[in-house]
Chains A and B, each alone.
Chain A
Amino acid sequence: MLRALTTSLALVALAAAQAPTRHWSFTPPQRVASEVDDDAWCRDDLDRCVLAELERRGEHPSPEAAPEVLLRRLHLVLTGLGPSPGDVAAFVAEPSDAAYRQTVDRLLASDACAEHRAVAWLDLARFADTYGYQSDYTCRTWPWRDWLLRALHRDLPWPRFVEQVVAGDLLADAGEPGAGGGDDARIATAFWRLHRQTNEGGSIDEEWRHEYVADRVDTFGQAFLGLTLGCARCHDHKSDPIRQRDFYATGSFFAVDEAGLTPYSTGGTPQPAMRLGDAAAQRELQRLAAAEADAERALAAALRVADSTPVHELAAPAPVAQHGRFVGDGDRRVGIDKPPTPTRADPYSLRFVVTAPTDAIERAVLVHTSNYTEDADTQGFQVLLKHDRLCWEVVHHWPGSAIAVATRTSLPGGRAVQVVVTYDGSSRAAGLAIWLDGERADVAVVRDELRGPATVRRLELGGRDRDRGFAGTIDEFAMFDRELDGAEIATLCRRAATDDERRDHARRHAPAVAAARDALRQARRAHQQALEQLPELMVMAAHPHPAQRFVLRRGAYDQPDTKQPVDADVPAAVLPFDASWPRDRRGLARWLNAPEQPLAARVVVDRLWAQCFGEGLIPTPNDLGRAGEAPLHQHALDLLACDLQRSGSTREILRRIVCSATFRQASTTTAERHAADPHNRLLARGPSFRLSAEALRDHALLAAGLLRRTVGGPSCRPWQPPGLWRDSGAAWGGGDYQPDGPAGAHRRSLYTFVKRTAPPPDMVVFDAQSRETCLVRRQPTDTPLQALTIWNDPVFGECAEALARRAELELPQRGLASHVDFVFGWLCGRAPRDAERDALLALCAQAADERQGLALCASTLLGSDAVMVVR
């Protein structure tokens, strides 16, 4: 037999010898020459890797699968949909290599391929349509799924995919080339925000912020490295060289300015978030932003030329809301009826006299406009005491979308202090001012990102539901519908205004200035209205006020080990972080894309292998560490990993796999050989595995002629059993699942709405998950509930009936046997064998009529091996 040496693999195992003691997966992948006896069998170096291992064990590959079997397999693994009988007939008539490759090209380029490939990423991304904790409200996540579909459909090069997901926001901010279309790259980063989030009242926000970062680190480890980084949250990793501080150092890349709780009573999107608009909307926003800037310049110009003759008779400004003396005890609070409801484009001011107790105040609410405390629901404006500092804040969602300033010195206690706070309607921290006893106070900027409406829902003094009240007095409270100037404030505080203040007052009240100010307000409102009607998406954004992070003792949020501060870093045992890279998520992306990176490429190609074979080359895909199992065919894995590093094309990897002789083998085996290798680790036969939940339903819809092929967009709500949420106790406030009618009934399953606390039962029964955490590989199970679902779920029943109708419609007057063959052909991708046809004809004999008999055939077939299993 011919003994061949593959010349393309000249780089023999040099590097593998460099560090013989290193764990296999921590050594960068290398191409290794494989010598085989039967080179004629090989279509590709990939096959040589596989065959060399087989020959070493005295095994031999299986013959090529029959054309119709191969074509069905190809369609299902690439698109999650079976071939039509026409596809099968054409290929069986001419099963050439060229025809095969043409089919591969066509399928790889299809939308269906991107949709099918997306499912594995949705599992990794813990993608769902609800927040996942407690009330489990709906959240907007689908734009990320659309980004994923676009990226897969245009075969976004893997390094770009990594850059966009990991650091798309930072690249867009910096205008760097990896960002591609800036908005698109920003959307990609929503990946890190798809974890579950709580809005349960009483939750401690700090605890949840740590929880979310921990989830991102877990997900990063699982999705990109195949490592169990989460094991190092409470202590150093037991089996891998990952220290506890690596866990927290990695987490530092993923800290964003988030609340910890999702908005409950105010609605809206957890911050940081971006606005989603199409090109026309973006152009309109640019126009409105320019108009706003113009109006600002016009106001500045009007102020410059306005008459500044000092005004000597100052009228006291007229308040729009008032309250007399309020004496607080820490619990008591008082509401002001029918409060003014300014928008963030409107200037306003507050004035009151406060007498605080003399002891230190950690926190107290003086004035606010929202339903609950900051744990989820602050909105509007508020004056708080935090650690004795007076804080003046205008808030959309705290802290990620807010402007806030705080005095640099403590508010004096034990005496009356005249307080005035003003806001100029600019949505900038610079537009906030605090005056104490008539003097402008020196303030620190605490937050300076106001991105959405700061809606006023009420006006309350002295305390707030679920917040700490003020045990002091607030007197002479008044609200004004403009930004008070120094002269007015002086008057209110019973001191004489300075000449400068009087001149400033005169300028501000000049008719031209007032007109310009009004114009600016209109320009801002127009801009904000256009902006705020655009939907938001949670994304990543650089933290404007990052706190020092520490190792947390035993992983507890309230146990920071102050002796162990951490900065952003990677697990150096995998690959050290290059000092020349930016120490943020851009650098993290470069770390993942580095040629020496041993894990990332292997993890990705292994998942592509699993897409084609049902299982990956790596037996423990969620653990490439020392506790995991090494792949039998490491050479094949590394060959593909090197290929990905070279080409960056995941589509080419898929092409290479499905075109290989290894993939094209028949899966048929003997009982003995199956028993010797039940998981097909050797690859001495072709793949056989049960269809995913999605593929099973989608293929049934396709065969029935019902499948609606709209790509992308919001999730749909197909029929589900009535009472689905209510009966399982998951319906917050008594709401239940509502199907959205014909438009959403028959779309591909990846678009089906997933409520995490009550996921779709027809998906879960076939091993789809609730998407609560990152999932690398679904665990296939066989249960009787699967058969019950196929026989009795009206969705599958509808498919069976539609397919029966279709048989009669498309083959009129052709007799039962041909109709049975039609049903079988659509579902199974081949003609029935005699025994199969006989069994189905016998079934038809039990039916009331032919239509029902065909439907029974379809229903039975859907639950049978010939449909459910890729062979």
Chain B
Amino acid sequence: MTDPLDVYPLALGRRAFLGNTALGLGGLAMRWLGGGDDATPPRGPHFTPRARRVVYLFQAGGPSPFETFDPKPLLRERHGEDLPDSVRNGQRLTGMSGFQARLPLAGAFCDFARHGKSGTWVSDLLPHQAQVLDRLCIVRSMHTEAINHDPAITFFCSGSQIAGRPSMGAWASYGLGSDNRDLPTFVVLVSKDAQRDQPLYARLWGAGFLPGEHQGVPFRPGSEPVLFLDRPAHVDAAQRQAQLDALQQLHADQLAHEHDPAIVARTRQAELAFRMQSSVPEAADLRSEPDSTFALYGERAREPGSYAANCVLARRLLERGVRFVQLFHQGWDQHGGLPGGITRQCQQTDQASAALVTDLQRRGLLDDTLVVWGGEFGRTAYCQGKLTPNDYGRDHHPRCFTVWLAGAGVRAGHVHGATDDFGYNVVDGAVHVHDLHATMLHLLGFDHERLTFRHQGRDFRLTDVAGKVVRALLA
């Protein structure tokens, strides 16, 4: 095969040079998508990072803290009594429960027990996460601004309720660049086995105004993990190789006539595409995993596209240098029928979430991998709709909820922040979404105020004009 760079060495721009050598050097921090002159080099960390990669286990819909990580015995004691006005303090409610005549408190249907060295209370619904508690940093004092799903999840994933801003993973990709030019920098995995109550949106992993190569690439369950990855049936591997050879020759000749370095960049992209046709299926194929993997993550992990399978896949991608993997598991929106709904959600996600932490640790990856678990908001202490002896629901509640972090640079076995006895307001250690983003960026080696991109005459950042690093979460 003829390399156009040999044919026309004059065109060796800086980028083309890097693009060429990065193939040999591998570790050279090149984005997987070289690009033309418009492409921006990675910002590089501002200081020594603790985390080199992130896996975000996004629990879409808003998991209830009351049945997971933030026990409130008072709600059981006062089950059925009205939420005191002094607690609500005039805060807005959604239009779904805002018109209810009564706001009866609802105690959790499930029990809690102490776990780990710290003796932290965890719900019986999460037996596996309880086992890895000493590696988690539980934040009970998250709060956000939006009260409906679409704006809230958009806010959580991009730092703004307004569409069009880059997502967390896109910022990470922009800042860090790629560790493996044969794979995307930012991969999105949507659970196939989830209840599809609240939908997801492409903007949640979009690049916004950042260059498009930072966009999250959704991997699909099944044999073709990336859209249009597979050759058509009638084109065999040798023919595809011949196509690439022909393209390189066409581009070499075109370059000799046009002298445009963008031709070199485009050739590199085609070469990368060619390699992705083998690197991506290799990464996504769980059949090579030993039985011990499925013992750890659960048998559900054998079902492609399940949350558990996606956790295994996430680990494989992280191992191979993908910078940011974001899982989305829908189905946490329990306005009614909460006991049944949340039991199902926990059964689908508990074992694999814990297994991922354990697995990363066993492989030595947890030291420089940040794991985050959580949803877009919490749920109300009071019941939405009718409170019956066996059933209740909870409306959206942005004023407090729980997320957990684990891994690189995170204070393990720690519980941060607290909510009041009703689980209605944060009373200690409030962590805003911008604060969490600032902390995540800090762990990745970035000053969140300096990781910016100029757009419409303004320097934008993930944390908008706010956010502070929560030092208490750091080891």
A residues sitting closer than 8 Å to B (CB atoms) are: 132-136, 196, 198, 200-205, 228, 231, 238-239, 329-331, 363, 373, 375, 466-469, 471, 558, 620, 622-623, 625-628, 667-671, 674-675, 678-679, 688, 721, 723, 726-734, 756-759, 761-762, 764, 767, 770, 772-773, 779-789, 791-794, 797, 833, 835-836, 838-840, 842-843, 846-848, 852, 856-857, 859-861, 863-866, 868-869, 871
Contacts and interface: CB of A to CB of B under 8 A. Distances in A.
21 contacts: A134-B199, A135-B199, A136-B199, A200-B149, A205-B95, A228-B456, A330-B101, A627-B456, A688-B260, A723-B220, A727-B190, A758-B201, A758-B202, A767-B212, A781-B213, A787-B272, A856-B246, A863-B270, A864-B247, A865-B260, A869-B260
Contacts of A679: 37
Contact of B199 (A363, A466, A721, A729): A729
A767 B273 CA distance: 17
A728 B211 contact: no
B266 A782 contact: yes
B269 interface: yes
A761 B227 contact: yes
A868 B251 CA distance: 12
Contact of A785 (B194, B226, B246, B261): B226
A840 B250 CA distance: 8
A758 B457 CA distance: 29
B259 A789 contact: no
B173 to A, nearest CB: 12
Given A331-B100, A863-B247, A785 B35 contact: no
A200 B456 CA distance: 30
B319 interface: no
A136 B277 CA distance: 33
A757 B36 contact: no
Contacts of B252: 835
Contacts of A203: 94-95, 148
Interface string B216-245: 011011000011111110110011101101
A734 to B, nearest CB: 6
A674 B260 contact: yes
A675 B13 contact: yes
B313 to A, nearest CB: 14
Contacts of A330: 100-102
Contacts of A201: 94-96
Contact of B456 (A622, A838, A865): A622
A184 B407 CA distance: 61
B235 to A, nearest CB: 7
Contacts of B37: 678-679
A734 B227 CA distance: 20
B92 interface: yes
Nearest to B220: A727
Contacts of A723: 220
Interface in B126-161: 147-150
Given A860-B247, A864-B247, 7 more contacts: A729-B200, A732-B196, A782-B34, A788-B226, A797-B232, A856-B235, A869-B262
B314 interface: no
Contacts of A329: 101
Contacts of A793: 228
B232 A792 contact: yes
B317 interface: no
A671 B256 CA distance: 10
B110 interface: no
A842 B246 CA distance: 8
B212 A783 contact: yes
Contacts, number: 290
A540 to B, nearest CB: 22
A558 B328 CA distance: 32
Given A238-B458, A757-B202, A865-B254, A779 B211 contact: yes
Interface residues of B, number: 96
Nearest to A841: B246
Nearest to A859: B243
Given A467-B99, A793-B228, A864-B254, A734 B196 contact: yes
Nearest to A558: B92
B211 A228 contact: no
B322 interface: no
Instruction: Classify the secondary structure of A's interface with B.
Output: loop
Interface string B454-475: 0111100000000000000000
Contacts of B36: 780, 782
A608 B204 CA distance: 33
Contacts of B235: 791, 856
B33 interface: yes
B25 interface: no
A85 B253 CA distance: 22
B63 interface: no
Contacts of A331: 100-102
B321 interface: no
Q: Which 3 A-B pairs have the closest CB atoms?
A: A330-B101, A627-B457, A729-B200
A236 B357 CA distance: 47
B454 to A, nearest CB: 9
B198 interface: yes
A132 to B, nearest CB: 8
A781 B457 contact: no
Interface centre among B92, B99, B218, B243 (most CB of A within 10 A): B99
A135 B198 CA distance: 8
B209 A782 contact: no
Interface in B182-200: 190, 192, 194, 196, 198-200
B212 A779 contact: yes
B254 A757 contact: no
Given A846-B238, A846-B239, A861 B250 contact: yes
B35 A732 contact: no
B243 A856 contact: yes
Given A202-B148, A843-B246, A469 B99 contact: yes
A239 B458 CA distance: 9
Contact of B148 (A198, A730, A733, A842): A198
A388 to B, nearest CB: 17
A791 B271 CA distance: 12
A859 B253 CA distance: 18
B295 interface: no
A871 B328 CA distance: 43
Contacts of A780: 36, 38
A836 B251 CA distance: 9
A93 to B, nearest CB: 23
Contacts of A762: 228
B34 A792 contact: no
B323 to A, nearest CB: 16
B71 interface: no
A628 B457 CA distance: 5
B253 A375 contact: no
B202 A730 contact: yes
B345 interface: no
A783 B203 contact: no
Residue from B100, B101, B200 whose CB has the most chain A CB atoms within 10 Å: B101
A202 B249 contact: no
B199 A204 contact: no
B251 A791 contact: no
A317 B203 CA distance: 59
Interface in B75-130: 92, 94-102
A787 B270 contact: yes
A788 B229 contact: yes
Contacts of A734: 196
Contacts of A864: 247, 250-251, 254
A642 B259 CA distance: 36
Nearest to B96: A202
Contacts of A669: 258-260
Nearest to B188: A728
A865 B250 contact: yes
B243 A781 contact: no
A860 B250 contact: yes
Contacts of A863: 247, 270
A668 B226 CA distance: 36
